Structure 1
Amino acid sequence: MASYKFKVSKAPFDDIGRGRIRIHNSRRDGAKRFTVFKISSGDRSFLASVLGHEDEADKILLDIDQRADLGVVENGSTELTLTRVGFCGRVRWYLSVPDPAVHVPAWLAVWSVALGALGLILGAISLAR
């Protein structure tokens, strides 16, 4: 968990609505691209996949929904806490990200695992009889 002061900028067009933010590599605590972080400011937070950028190290690129979630404005500055999430946090991000190219396959995977588990249980019950 690390806390930094950032200058808020607009996200690139390709990142809008995809649950991504861009933070300079020096502020990611050595995390690789696409690592999921919890981004928080006070009592407001959201999960995001983090990519880098080549601008100033104190710049963060957020889309309009993420800025609204944190209550920050473009060209303003804010103090944010970045926390790397574990497996459950990554799964929650996959299931809740607005981009259908991410959350639809994630939900299909969850249902596949659930139906597979149900099949195993029913198969074990039928073998036990």
Structure 2
Amino acid sequence: MLDEQLRVQKASADDIFSDIVRIPEDHRVGGSGGTIRNGAVIRIEHKGRKTFAIVRGLDCAQPIVQMDEFIRDRLCVKPGEFIRKSGIRLARWYEKPWWLLFVTNPTVHVSAWLAVISVGLGALSIFLALC
């Protein structure tokens, strides 16, 4: 059985810098065979490269995936090329923080790093208090 593929298209202007990929619901199948829900963090693998994104719906029946330039660059894919459906799966719980720390959206990116720094300083203060 041949692996189904999705044609890559450019994202709409509203989705640029948001790390959102749009895939029609009929073409979102997770590793266990169930549909990947709207708003989930997904891992996309293509030719040995990987990235993370948020999946959103697309009102279309065609097998396409819309990505912004930043996600396409991470995967080294151009509009009109194809990626395998089997390369798209839900991110595991331990992969989600990596997505959060390296997201393209500056608002989310800065907030995530401030949270990491705050947790680190909290841990340091507990350590110093115990000493």
**TM-score above 0.5:** yes
C-alpha deviation, 1:22, in angstroms: 0.8
Q: What count of residue pairs does the alignment treat as equivalent?
A: 123
Distance 1:115 1:106 in 2: 14
Q: Which residue is equivalent to 1:59? A: 64
| Residue of structure 2 equivalent to 1:98 | 104
Structure 1: gaps (5+ residues): none
Q: Does the CA-based 8 Å contact 1:23-1:57 persist in structure 2?
A: no
Structure of higher CA gyration radius: 1
Classify 1:121/1:40 alpha carbon distance in 2 versus 1 (closer, same or farther; 3 Å).
Answer: same
More strand by share: 1
Q: Which one has a larger percent helix, Structure 1 or Structure 2?
A: 1
**CA RMSD between the two structures:** 1.8
Q: TM-score, normalised by structure 2?
A: 0.82
* TM score, norm. by length of structure 1: 0.83
State, as a whole percentage, how many aligned pairs show the same letter.
Answer: 31
Where structure 2 has 5 or more consecutive residues not aligned to the other structure, the ranges are 30-34
Question: Whole-Å Cα distance in 1 between the matches of residues 48 and 124 of structure 2?
Answer: 39
Once the two structures are superposed, the pairs formed by residues 30-49 of structure 1 within 5 Å of their partners are 30-49=35-54
Deviations 1:49-92, CA, capped at 9 Å, x for gaps? 11111112411101122223333322333324112112221100
Give the ranges of 4+ consecutive aligned residues of structure 1 lying more than 4 Å apart after TM superposition: none
Distance 1:75 1:42, change over 3 A: closer
SS in 2 for 1:88: coil
Matches within 5 A, 1:1-129: 4-29=4-29, 30-80=35-85, 81-125=87-131
Residue type at the aligned position of 1:22 = R
